[in-house]
Amino acid sequence: QVQLVQSGAELKKPGASVTISCKASGYTFTDSYLHWVRQAPGQELEWVGWIDPTNGGTEYAQNFRGRVTMTRDTSISSAYMELRALKSDDAAVYFCVREDHRFSMDVWGQGTTVIVSS
């Protein structure tokens, strides 16, 4: 079945960087954009950006430009999100999400919790 499996929880200090991975299976990796969406505790969903696995093209939300980088490795059907200069309000669950041909986010990873604390 179609599945996105993310890396485990991370504990980081303010100012550090975090990289989260997302491994896809059950479909052709290059057929669909992958998005990253985050959710701070008790808060709404926030779109971070997307990567086109076909060519590595990316688009980031204004709030994250200059601080986030999304990459992919097609040989292992995996995508990565690096967020730098972490602040306390970056503490959240980060989801990788597949977007299908209908522009719908139809498959979600299990989420990766990032804790930012000194």
Q: Which of 22, 24, 50, 78 binds another protein (CB under 8 A)?
A: 50
Using CB under 8 A as the binding rule, whether residue 108 contacts another protein is answered as yes
Q: Torsions phi, psi of 39, nearest 5?
A: -145, 110
Nearer to another protein, 45 or 85 (CB): 45
Nearer to another protein, 9 or 16 (CB): 9
Q: Which of 52, 111, 113, 115 binds another protein (CB under 8 A)?
A: 111
For residue 25, the cross-strand partners are 3
Using CB under 8 A as the binding rule, whether residue 95 contacts another protein is answered as yes
Which amino acid is it at 113?
T
Residue indicated by tokens 């690096």: 82
> What residues between 19 and 48 interact with another protein by CB under 8 A?
35, 37, 44-47
Written as six digits, the tokens of 36 are 């990253």
Which amino acid is it at 70?
M
Please choose, from the candidates 2, 4, 1, the residue with its C-alpha nearest in 3D space to the C-alpha of residue 111. Answer: 4
Contacts of 98 (CB under 8 A, 6+ apart): 2, 4, 24, 27, 32, 33, 34, 35, 105, 106, 107, 108
Smallest gap from Cβ 13 to another protein, in A, equals 26
Smallest gap from Cβ 66 to another protein, in A, equals 16
Which spans of this chain sit near another protein (rule: CB under 8 A)? 35, 37, 44-47, 50, 59, 61-62, 95, 102-106, 108-111
